Amino acid sequence: MPVRQLPEQVVNRIAAGEVVERPASVVKELVENAIDAGASRIDVFSDGGGRRRIGITDDGSGMTARDLSLAVERHATSKLDDEDLLEIRTLGFRGEALPSIGSVARLSITTRHAGEPHAWALSVEGGEKSEIMPAALALGTRVEVNDLFYATPARLKFLKTDRTEAEAIREVVRRLAMARPDIAFTLAGEERAPVTWAAALPGAAGRLTRLGDILGAEFRSHAIEVHAERDGVVIAGYAAAPALTRANALGQYLFVNGRPVRDKLILGAVRAAYSDYLPRDRHPVLALFVTLDPREVDANVHPAKSEVRFRNAGLVRALIVHGLKEGLAREGRRTAANSGGSALSSFRPAFTPRPGNWDWRQSPSAPTILPSFEGTAAPAFAERVQAAFDVGAPTADVRIETQPAGDLVDRPLGAARTQIHETYIVSQTRDGLIIVDQHAAHERIVYERLKASLAKNGVQRQILLIPEIVELDEATVERLLARSDELASFGLAIESFGPGAVAVRETPSLLGKTDAGGLLRDLAEHMAEWDEALPLERRLMHVAATMACHGSVRAGRRLRPEEMNALLREMEETPNSGQCNHGRPTYVELKLADVEKLFGRR
């Protein structure tokens, strides 16, 4: 078959296959156009999961009649002044969205520019453009998309249910609303009540308000501010405390120069920053905003512009890890599980209403009736029943004749009072009480000591008597050998052993007897994703966490009063002592006011 030039209509439908993947893709492109037009309010309406109808209305700058005619032509855009693809400061820049949508749906655009006497309207059906007609509209633009994919019916069977497609549209609008808290958004349709996010004030406070409106009050109450800056790269945003987690990474929202992205580099940095706080099967909730010179990031690497490529990826990753770790360390003792509200929710009233025919004389606690009250007074309650309340003395007691030293009660974790079930330490503070899990608390202390020792003395290594030969594909071998110096700094010495093989001569002694082949394969996979040697460090930290677990005070061990107070003092001096390295809380705090509420005193 000879080579031939494809017709314009076929070209547009091929382009639509890249840009218009589903109804949510249409909403994304049109809302981004509204944002680039300087809108302060954007209304989004959808019906039938976006298949039947999508409507986007904004109060942006609008278009003149000439601009409207060109807007639906391929590769026509107003967002590249000097045709420099390295200086992209807008969300859109390719000029493909409107003609691609018009080639597979019924598209109508009504717009009014401030310099025009009235609005203008234009429609495109299956790639065929109509004449421009006068219309009525206030300043701004209204775009309607009806019968999506009617021109390519085969695409319809690849769409999911209306509810699923509507939820995808909702997620797209949520992400764009997070990126621009200064713009008011309204989302309506799909037989749901309209949702409106009002424009927020500029600055960090306004950003947190918008994030709280979208992610919920729970995120707002446990949000930790994140900020880091270096060499023109700024990382800002909010991350939830370690106890507020999800079962997947869908609660992680990432933005680069105001553009929502799903970047493996940033997701890897988030995972590394939280590695000391969360178990492997839990993921944090956060919204991070990366701002840098447009020339330092390439936004033109994905058809949907959902991925970017950084010129200095290592700097961006390091800043994210640093900013998150600094914020988490600053709020080290602040977790949702430590708060009194979480603890109070576990309490349930033990009182049950008495039946209407209840007779107190039939109660097992009824007073014993004696013929006379001469001699010793009758016991107030039946001794048989009250004997059930004799549970013995506490396993450890800090009873003293006088009040504890004022400085201990005034300390953040207070003065130890007792130990219960050989597992939990109860301490008193000036305005409440604290219950400490002795094993989890000491586990964090030992873990932090091990980390400090590793950082100070370096990784101890062991020389293998017989080097282990690991066979890998050539690309993986080249990737590992290119980072051999960094791997050696973590105690793993490797060298080439012919094509497609690596000889392992030294391994970190902390790992003991290890599967060198599996270790190298995991490292190569992480290097391909992160381009960093940190996965080996994370493996060492995991070993350190295991050692800390086995080397810490076990549950079931009785502690003396001085040991309990010493543990509390060490917790106060240890970073991240609010939770153990498995993500569990190390203590729960109850304010005196909360205790009084339980007993109806407030």
Q: How confident is the model at residue 445 (pLDDT cuts 50, 70, 90)?
A: confident
Average pLDDT over the chain reads: 79
Mean per-residue pLDDT, 74-98: 71
The pTM assigned to this predicted structure is 0.68
DSSP-derived secondary structure letter, 579: B
Q: pLDDT (tens digit, 9 = 90+) per residue, 464-503?
A: 888 899 888 888 888 888 878 777 766 778 899 888 899 9
Tokens read off for 283 = 């993921």
- pLDDT for 183 equals 95
3-state secondary structure labels for all residues of 329-352: HHCCCCCHHHCHHHHHCCCCCCCC
- pLDDT for 110 equals 95
> Where does 460-533 have alpha helices with state H?
474-482, 484-489, 516-530
- pLDDT for 363 equals 55
d(CA 109, CA 123): 6
Q: Strands, E, within 424-568: which ranges?
A: 424-429, 432-437, 461-471, 493-496, 501-508
Mean per-residue pLDDT, 548-573: 75
Q: Which residue has the higher pLDDT, 383 or 588?
A: 588
Cα-based distances in Å from 575 to 112, 276, 538, 566, 580: 58, 11, 18, 16, 11
Provide the 3-class DSSP secondary structure of residue 115: coil
| 488-491 own/partner pairs: CB under 8 Å, 24+ apart | 489/459, 489/533, 490/459, 490/533, 490/536, 490/537, 490/540, 491/459, 491/460, 491/461
| 20-23 own/partner pairs: CB under 8 Å, 24+ apart | 20/100, 20/101, 20/104, 20/148, 21/304, 22/50, 22/159, 22/165, 22/168, 23/49, 23/50, 23/51, 23/54, 23/148, 23/159, 23/165, 23/168, 23/169
Q: How confident is the model at residue 202 (pLDDT cuts 50, 70, 90)?
A: confident
